[in-house]
Chain A
Amino acid sequence: MRATVQVQKFNPETDAAPRLREYQLDVAWRGNTVLDALFQIKHELDGSLTFRASCRSAICGSCPMVINGRERLACQTLVADEIDRCGRIEVRPLRQMRVIKDLAVELDPFWGKVRAITPYLTPKPNRDAVALPQDVEGGFHNVDACIMCGACVSACSSLEVSPGFLGPAALAKAYRFVADPREGRTRDRLESLGGEHGIWDCVRCNFCVEVCPKDVKPMEAIIRLRREALREGLTDHPGARHITTFMAIVRREGRLNEARMPVAMVWPNLRRMLAIVPLGIRMFLKGKVPAWFHRPIPGIREIRRLFDARETSK
């Protein structure tokens, strides 16, 4: 099979800007991966091509790159599939990371964030049991399947606009320790994870879920961290208030009331109230502010009973 492979080449020491270089390859069989293709280019066409790889089995996490627009492991992506889908293969380095050369990116900031969440157990004092109990719910929701490849970090919408955000990989790792019944610092962890650049900065865009090669669903882990923070009573953050306010409105009216929601979120902070008023007035003039008093939906009794039953079962 003939394949056109375009690879982003860039040597910051000699090049002014990255450029796409095109290679024509004869791919031996349909089972060849993009990583095989990159090795073939390096061996036959361009010895200077730089990329990371190790296990070739989607275990080590060394070869994530942006293949035809989306973060993938090169060793897990078939040349034939990409040619069928896009007619050619375009390979670029992970996003939101400094390029060292070609497809190799700087990973120190990535590991710095993983270290920042204290990625090891700090056990409760005086505990005999060291072994993990068998019945941990959902086996940490699959977060321990993470191979730390960084694909989710490259795809993250929040990181794109706020580089300090801890990011999906580190937060998924953090959930693994918050969920561990042997952990002794659960509340401390949740308090610190709820701070600046923490769990409340996730925009829930699902990109990390979509690109993860190991089905870790980092966003689900972040949602669970938020839920745990609420359960611990850490309800002061605007992100936490967003959830509690939203739920209170749905309980009362059955639907979200977009007039009440922003006001309830910022109340009683006068400065923040004043910040939302001008926009509110302009929306009102366009007929975009719904009535303050909504009539609840028919059958609201059923909705309230569901909420109340959950409240009493806690």
Chain B
Amino acid sequence: MKYAFYTGCAAKGACPELYQSAVKVAKLLGIELDEMTSAACCGAGVVREGDADLSLAINARTFAQAEAKGLPVLTICGTCQGVLANANKTLKEDPAARDRVNAMLAPDGIAYRGTVDVKHFLWVLIQDVGLSKLRQAVKRSLAGLRVAPFYGCYILRPSKDLGLDDPNNPTSLEELITALGGERIDYSGRIKCCGFPLVLENEPMALAMGGNATAEAKGEGADCMVTPCPLCHMSLDIYQERAGRQRGERLDMPVFHLPQLVGLALGLSEQDLGLSRHMVPVTKAMGKIASPTS
């Protein structure tokens, strides 16, 4: 299992704990990561708003780098996954668009043939590693920990671009939580929007979205949330206090990045997983799980 590792900006910026935990978990599970250090930002759907072909070209450059290595792309960001999958689908299925984009890239001798696949870490865990192997690797069961999955928009919708989960009734995070021994919380907010794309331009709306989902998870008895998208993590963790203030309540809900939750079950330490970097302390959740057994 070897992949071209597309970290995305957040894992190299505001969420270094995501990068660190993903790398450590991948190593334990025998996933080989060849980091794409010269890959650019996917555009997060924002560059596409300014210029659709420019966004395609930047991502075609990234795909061409993976194509040259003959590796599929692995992402650890739900937003990157959605944006890259959408661009890749266009480049694979619309030869006119691919020709246009390759013409833009030609002066630097870059061309994308359309042969690369893009997979989120969550899908790699389920499809390539497999839940049974994961179950065997568990050193510290998450038994007793009630986890509310939070998917984020871009890993689910539009489902025509993606494909693993039913966008209305996804199951992959739930299956993963169960495989790690945890208890999954069911709530309607799990497929909703965290509000992050509006946080710098209309903070009250963004806080209302993130706050609604967090409060609902709390109401259903969750000890923590888990998300495969660092932008959701920023919204749910960094902005949680402000969201709570807007609602007039203390939410106090720890939020894990997907690889952090897996890493806990695999026996990695809090330092390994960078848990001290969260804005909302994870103590409440850590108190629910036993120490690792060797």
Q: Which residues of A line the B interface, CB within 8 A?
A: 68-70, 85-86, 157-158, 160-162, 200-201, 203-207, 209-210, 217, 223, 226-227, 230, 237-239, 241-244, 246-247, 250, 254-259, 261-262, 265-266, 279, 282-283, 286-290, 297-299, 301-303, 305-307, 309-310
Contact = CB atoms under 8 A, between A and B. Distances in A.
A223 B49 contact: yes
Contacts of B238: 279, 283, 288
A290 B13 contact: yes
B49 A70 contact: no
Interface stretch (B114-122, B200-208, B214-222, B282-290): B200-208
B242 interface: yes
A69 B104 contact: no
B242 A279 contact: yes
B176 interface: no
Contact of B202 (A201, A204, A226, A297): A201
B212 to A, nearest CB: 7
B89 interface: no
Given A297-B38, A306-B104, A288 B201 contact: no
Looking at chain A's contact residues, the main secondary structure is: helix
Listed from nearest, the 3 A-B pairs whose CB atoms lie closest are A206-B157, A161-B208, A205-B193
Contacts of A161: 195, 205, 208-209, 212
21 contacts: A70-B168, A161-B208, A161-B209, A162-B208, A201-B202, A203-B193, A203-B206, A206-B82, A206-B153, A246-B50, A250-B58, A256-B41, A283-B238, A283-B279, A286-B279, A288-B279, A297-B39, A302-B61, A303-B40, A306-B61, A307-B54
Given A203-B205, A205-B193, A238-B200, A210 B47 contact: no
B58 A303 contact: yes
Given A242-B201, A258-B13, A206 B154 contact: yes
A177 to B, nearest CB: 20
Nearest to A238: B201
A83 B201 CA distance: 43
A287 B277 contact: yes
B200 A288 contact: no
Contacts of B104: 306, 309
Nearest to B212: A161
A279 B243 CA distance: 13
Nearest to B168: A70
Contacts of A243: 46-47, 49-50
A157 B49 contact: no
B50 A200 contact: no
B251 interface: no
A38 B27 CA distance: 54
Contacts of A226: 49
Contacts of A241: 201
Interface residues of B, number: 63
Interface string B171-202: 00000000000000000000011010110111
Contacts of A205: 153, 157, 192-193
A200 B110 CA distance: 35
Contacts of A160: 209, 212
A227 B201 CA distance: 17
A246 B153 contact: no
B200 A265 contact: yes
Contact of B47 (A246, A265, A299, A302): A246
A259 B153 CA distance: 24
Given A203-B209, A246-B47, A250-B43, A282 B168 contact: no
A171 to B, nearest CB: 14
Contacts of A68: 168
B12 A290 contact: yes
B108 interface: yes
Nearest to A306: B57
A157 B209 contact: yes
Contacts of A201: 198, 202, 205
Contacts of B279: 282-283, 286, 288
Given A157-B193, A287-B16, A256 B44 contact: yes
Best-surrounded residue of B45, B58, B61, B201 (most CB of chain A within 10 A): B201
A303 B138 CA distance: 42
A160 B194 CA distance: 12
Contacts of A162: 205, 208
Contact of A290 (B14, B39, B51, B110): B14
Interface in B152-170: 153-154, 156-159, 166-169
Contact of B10 (A157, A239, A258, A283): A258
A8 B58 CA distance: 48
A255 B50 contact: no
B157 A305 contact: no
A279 B242 CA distance: 9
B131 interface: no
A90 to B, nearest CB: 12
A161 B199 CA distance: 13
Contact of B200 (A157, A206, A261, A299): A261
